[in-house]
Structure 1
Amino acid sequence: MPNAGGYFTTFPQTAMNQVICPDLDTLTAQALMLIQKRVFAAIDQQGRATLVLAGGSTPRRLYEHIATQSWPWHQIHLFWGDERFVPPDHPDSNYRMVRETWLDRVTFPAGNIHPMPTVPLTPEAAAAAYEQELQAFFALKPGEFPVFDVILLGMGEDGHTASLFPQTAALQVCDRAVTVGHKGNEPRLTLTIPTLNFGRCVIFMVAGANKAHAYRQVTAAQPAGEQYPAALIRPQGGDLWWLVESTVLQH
């Protein structure tokens, strides 16, 4: 693992902690360090840690590094922030990516892995099933939302995060923890904005010059959240971290 470097700044108007990293290796090291700190603190405080995982290309290396760690896997529960509506063994599956890069390389209790269900259910039925799983796991009362210890997110070049895409109906869902998002005509499962905003620690990992425009919009003093959904993620009482590769700021 490379040494964790970077410099810290804060956006006062949005309470965003920003870490600028010279390359993806440094970004990965920063993410690993921050996640480990929060996971271990949660275990010390409550005997378990809940971690929401992101898909996409940026966190792959992070999961490979986590697989080399000696963490108390039996005290860690994994959830997913979103999922493409494909079978779990499909190449596009976020679950499959995590399994190949991390879970197949360690002895992780099967009962601690909570992937989003997909086919043969309908997207709506799958979202409802995951909602029920969260309600049972967190012992939620009606109207309550789960509070995850760590939520890992990415951002697309269009400003989407999880499967919350610009100008889509999923952005308006505020009475459920899970909903169906859409990328064009393609259905996906996603945690909702309120769920993400109840996280104790929300961490964005952003790399690539193609994210520069969206990042400028998201970090603007008055971001347009409907057009750049990542700007809508503002944890209520939790910490918000943006770990950003320097190429994102060079355009």
Structure 2
Amino acid sequence: MPTEILPDQGSLVDRAVQIIVEKIESAIAQRGYCTLALAGGSTPKPVYEKLSQQNLPWEKLHIFWGDERYVPADHPDSNEKMAREAWLDQVAIPAENIHPMPTTGENPEADAEKHEQQLRSFFQCQAGEFPSLDIILLGMGDDGHTASLFPHTEALSVRDRLITIGNKGDSKRLSFTAPFLNQGRAVIFLVAGANKRPALKEIFSPQGDAMAYPARLIQPQGELWWLLDQEAGAEFST
């Protein structure tokens, strides 16, 4: 599990872009295309802005989201809106290669099932099977949540689905499940800020409670990367 502590957030962004570009090129070389799940939040945004400046075969990328707030795609809180403005609208990715979570209805459960079927159709996998994305980007909240898998919520126990409902208070979200995240070929956490240290201490501990700190659930069959800035990672050695 590579854990890298970068001097500042700018260095974290540069390192993340470097790894992502390498993984994109490797996936395309091996399989002819690359599947990439995006994270929301403030830390990934400059990563997306830098990725928009790369020279990549955009038509060979397929973009997904690891979680999404249950708001329209043009809402200020939408992860899709942020990623489109920072990156996807700036490059020649075909519209059919962008696979957002459906959040325009009034029934999150029905939209979760709809996206489940969209994913199974794309990856040609049956119920009970979990496909592997090439790259999954994740953030982590100061409560230890990742994607929309929040502490002590039912979503943490979902083992038979790709998509579940994440609950943060009264706010519902769509989220990849832990088993689906764990099928990733490369899972990359991007974590910045001193406020993340207490949760990171629990997550990196040899023993701990994954129900209290859900990022502990992420133990992928592929590579697991933790990229921390100095403020987040000051207490942790590489």
The answer to whether the superposition gives a TM-score over 0.5 is: yes
1:77 aligns with 2:62: yes
The Cα of 1:56 is off from its aligned counterpart by: 0.4
How many residues align structurally?
A: 235
SS at match of 1:50: strand
2-structure distance, mates of 1:221, 1:199: 22
Aligned residue among 102, 115, 137 for 2:87: 102
2-structure distance, mates of 1:130, 1:23: 36
TM-score if structure 1 supplies the norm length? 0.92
The Cα of 1:129 is off from its aligned counterpart by: 0.8
Aligned counterpart, 1:58: 43
SS at match of 2:35: strand
Q: Which amino acid aligns with 1:242?
A: W
The Cα of 1:119 is off from its aligned counterpart by: 1.9
2-structure distance, mates of 1:145, 1:129: 16
1-structure distance, mates of 2:113, 2:204: 33
The Cα of 1:176 is off from its aligned counterpart by: 0.2
1:135 aligns with 2:120: yes
Aligned residue among 112, 115, 118 for 2:100: 115
Aligned residue among 241, 246, 250 for 2:225: 241
Query: RMSD of the TM alignment (CA)?
Result: 0.9
Q: Which amino acid aligns with 2:227?
A: L
2-structure distance, mates of 1:223, 1:62: 31
Unaligned 5+ runs, structure 2:
none
Equivalences for residues 1-251 of structure 1 within 5 A: 16-236=1-221, 238-250=222-234
1-structure distance, mates of 2:126, 2:117: 11
Unaligned 5+ runs, structure 1:
1-15
2-structure distance, mates of 1:72, 1:244: 29
1-structure distance, mates of 2:149, 2:55: 33
The Cα of 1:146 is off from its aligned counterpart by: 1.6
Give a deviation string over 1:95-146, Cα, whole Å, max 9, x none: 0000010011112100000000002241001101110011000000221012
Higher RCO, Cα 8 Å, sep 6+: 2
Identity %: 54
2-structure distance, mates of 1:65, 1:128: 33
